[in-house]
Structure 1
Amino acid sequence: MWTATRILGLIIALYASPALAQMQGHGGAVRALAVSADGRLAISGGFDQAAIIWGLDTGAALAVLRFHDGAVNAVASLPDGRFATASDDGRVALWRLGRLEPEQVLAGHSGPVVGLAVSPDGALLASASWDGTARLWSLTGGTPRVLDAGSGPVNAIAFTQDGKALTAGSDAVLRIWTRPNISATLVTLPSVAHAILIAHDGEVVAAGADATLRFLRSDGTMRAEAEVGPNPVIALALSPDGARVAAATAGGTVVVVEWATANVLLRLVGPGLPVWSLAWRPDGSEIVTGGGDRLVRRWDARTGEPVGTLALRRPADTLAAWRGDRGAEVFGACVACHTLQKGEAERAGPTLAGLFGRRVAAVPGYRYSEPLRHLDIVWTPETVSRLFEIGPARYTPGTRMPEQTIGNAADRDALVRFLAKATAPH
């Protein structure tokens, strides 16, 4: 329940705090963003398993929401003022401002949930999951409808104006659904789509690995393309008036494209780290982005300039001292989620400090999945090598670690030797 003190605190945070154009609070990359209907609040989701509600005009963090047992991959602003968060843990949580626990939890997915969409009438919340399905949840309760793609992870979901759901997955197929398990239209795309958008006239934009925005007519035929490379597109956001689409890339640039002509209008150049998420403010004046530097940033959508001073500093290079070490080079794929020594800033995964000799799922304070807690594994050079030989999903069932293997035995050995040195107590 709200109290007078909490209401007063929120008012002060919204109106009295000094404006901050760069909002810092996440302990990992900012994976998801959404802005409230009135444009005054935003919610961000991070690899650090947290969601943060922000006052956009002040940059103040109004609440840090910790519930999920995995990275928060998707968020949405609901018409009734609530927010939704979705996570690697397969759950969708519904939040009301002023409460630090979810008002409702939607469970049913068996894999990470990576996308959310709200129907035009505000009655349904759709979730896309790497379990191969999408689910349509009634926001008034009831059993969800399941859309079973049957061909691998579903990466993105969106609604047409007449309420049809569209999904895009790892099979590079766009599906237009009329009712559960019946796809009225299948559109094969040239590349796997990471994100999709739908305009008011039913036209679709899909983008992903090949860094090209594809504008598709409502019947699935191609109208235009916009190349925004060289880096893959991670996320898309449609301007409130439907005239522009913003595309976030893995190289740290946001490209603004005119919908009617597919011409590039602006390039918002950030610090060179992946931009994982973005959203427009309702008046179309600003774009809000979240990225690998753990910051939420504001940009002028007319000029492409940052709102306030843009600090282009990168996080400290924790592997600089190991330059030339092959094991450190292999570990470069892991550094975004794991620290090597105690005292470093929290990241999405548990610290590896003191790794060898430690039981699996034993770092104090880290929220592991329940299946992982019951595994009988002690980390040794042999077990770490085996983890990357056969992959985390097989060796540590229940893990939320991204699936990856190291097929080269010499590289596995180099990684193990590096970890033995870098994670030992100093």
Structure 2
Amino acid sequence: MMRGAVAHIFALTIWAATPLAAQEFTTLKGHGGPVMGIAVSPEGQVATASFDNSVGLWAGREPKWLDAHEAAVVDVTFGPNGPVSSGDDFTIYAWADDEAKKIGTHKGKVADVEVSPDGSLVASASWDGTVGFWTFDGTGETRKIPAGSVSDVVFSPDGELLYAAGSAGVIVELPVGEGDPRVIVKHGFAVNVLTIAPDGSWLAYGAVDGGTRVVDPRTGEQIADFSLDRRPILSIEHHPETHTLAVGDGHGFIMVIDTETWKITRDFQATRRGPIWALAFDPSGEVIYAGGIDDVVYSWPIAFLDEYDAIDNPERSFLRAPEEMANGERQFMRKCSICHALEDGVSRKAGPTLHGVFGRAAGTVDGYRYSDILDGSDIIWNSETIDKLFDLGPDHYIPGSKMPMQRITGPQDRADLIEFLKTATK
């Protein structure tokens, strides 16, 4: 928080350039899981992507929830008619008037979506090793590239080329039309994020090993290196009008770089518990938004970052030290707590509450949007069915459900989890 008294505003705020007292630290609260992606429209509307399977569209004090994905939403951007989102459910949705249209599907997690400069195409990056090109009417194709699991894509300013990065530690240039991919950078470690100059004169990237570099996209030659002893690099965002590049990492820092002088202007520890998974500027470039392990979006005025202390965010339950918990609770924290609450009532978490789960028919919690396979299921949750769920894994016990693929292979670990749930869910 800012040193001294600061108002915590749980909505969007009008930001004045001066004086310092008018600069507010702002939070957007409401998601039920970590915030994985942030986008800001030219008009200043904020869209957020969360582990709780939803897109949040923020205006005023109340968010509007856009629900269509059946797994974590990991990226969001703005298209001509509204947000475009992608997620762990392998899908890309375009939103207009709060209605979702599925415009693309991969065979793996869709880590990033980008809209072409002319607004006619959506490009997607998938862990299935492909990039996708999709029109807003739902036609398109995927193309295999030599980047491993693809983590990020960005269009060239003229929209004729796509740059893609992935787990193979390379950056690939791919013609949007006909043509073969060309490797332009061989970094050696997985490259997570990319951004490009509005005139195409430079391409900046961040990697798993902490590599933070700027290269000439035509030749791959290095222009600048801002690598520090922090890893991984998880987010990168450029505001062309203010010549500001922001980089977020796994340690909770936001590094701010002037792209005219190629100098670091600020190196701000945003949170005491990283990571910074998402960054976005407001239209003026005066405010930066950040998202990470918390269920919250934070924002600060760029000019006064030096006046703020790191957020002393509370430790998430699933990150508690194992030795602090009995084995059953430890299994719940590791496998269940990020998606499920134990308390009664509707929550914004990715899964339904487990309160009263024993003896309850699957797919019957009011207010939760179940997958078709569980809506009307004949499964009754009890010690035997919960044991089978984690012995076989949800993908085998209930194929087609939203539950992530995971198992608890040890019989005693499953038994301890069940005993913990018997008490904790009453």
What's the % identity of the aligned pairs? Answer: 30
Counterpart Cα distance in 2 of 1:411 and 1:220: 50
Counterpart Cα distance in 1 of 2:321 and 2:50: 25
Counterpart Cα distance in 1 of 2:30 and 2:269: 22
- 2:139 aligns with 143
- 2:204 aligns with 205
- 2:255 aligns with 255
The residue type equivalent to 2:143 in the other structure is: L
- 1:215 aligns with 214
The residue type equivalent to 1:192 in the other structure is: A
Alpha-carbon displacement from aligned partner over 1:275-308 (angstroms, at most 9, x marks no partner): 331101232211112233222222111231589x
The residue type equivalent to 1:26 in the other structure is: H
For residue 158 of structure 1, report the CA deviation from its aligned partner.
1.0
The answer for unaligned runs of 5 or more in structure 2 is 1-11, 15-21
- 1:348 aligns with 350
What is the TM-score normalised by the length of structure 2?
0.78
How many pairs are equivalent?
Answer: 400
- Residues 1:276 and 1:151: Cα distance change in structure 2 (over 3 Å): closer
- 1:419 aligns with 421
- Residues 1:175 and 1:392: Cα distance change in structure 2 (over 3 Å): farther
Mapping 1:16-27, distance limit 5 Å: 21-27=26-32
35, 43, 67: which is aligned to 1:30? 35
Counterpart Cα distance in 2 of 1:385 and 1:417: 11
- 1:129 aligns with 126
Counterpart Cα distance in 2 of 1:376 and 1:251: 45
Answer yes or no: is 1:192 the counterpart of 2:183: no
For residue 177 of structure 1, report the CA deviation from its aligned partner.
0.9
The answer for unaligned runs of 5 or more in structure 1 is 1-12
Counterpart Cα distance in 2 of 1:381 and 1:132: 39
- 2:244 aligns with 244
- Residues 1:150 and 1:353: Cα distance change in structure 2 (over 3 Å): farther
The residue type equivalent to 2:180 in the other structure is: I
Mapping 1:21-420, distance limit 5 Å: 21-38=26-43, 40-55=44-59, 59-61=60-62, 63-78=64-79, 80=80, 82-96=82-96, 99-102=97-100, 104-139=101-136, 141=137, 143-149=139-145, 153-163=149-159, 164-178=161-175, 179=177, 182-185=180-183, 187-199=185-197, 200-218=199-217, 219-241=219-241, 243-259=243-259, 261=262, 263=264, 265-270=266-271, 272-304=273-305, 312-314=312-314, 323-333=324-334, 334-343=336-345, 345-358=347-360, 360-371=362-373, 373=375, 379-381=381-383, 384=386, 387-388=389-390, 391-406=393-408, 411-420=413-422
For residue 372 of structure 1, report the CA deviation from its aligned partner.
5.2
The residue type equivalent to 2:190 in the other structure is: V
The residue type equivalent to 2:68 in the other structure is: F
- Residues 1:54 and 1:185: Cα distance change in structure 2 (over 3 Å): same
Q: Is the 8 A contact 1:225 1:262 kept in 2?
A: no
Counterpart Cα distance in 2 of 1:114 and 1:267: 26
Q: Is the 8 A contact 1:224 1:262 kept in 2?
A: no
- Residues 1:180 and 1:304: Cα distance change in structure 2 (over 3 Å): farther
Q: Is the 8 A contact 1:158 1:165 kept in 2?
A: yes
- Residues 1:354 and 1:246: Cα distance change in structure 2 (over 3 Å): same
- Residues 1:276 and 1:82: Cα distance change in structure 2 (over 3 Å): same
Counterpart Cα distance in 2 of 1:401 and 1:108: 19
* CA RMSD, 1 decimal: 3.7
Q: Is the 8 A contact 1:258 1:265 kept in 2?
A: no
SS at match of 1:190: coil
Counterpart Cα distance in 2 of 1:212 and 1:183: 23
Alpha-carbon displacement from aligned partner over 1:311-361 (angstroms, at most 9, x marks no partner): 745378597999331332343334222212324743122223334455554
What is the TM-score normalised by the length of structure 1?
0.78
Counterpart Cα distance in 1 of 2:192 and 2:103: 23
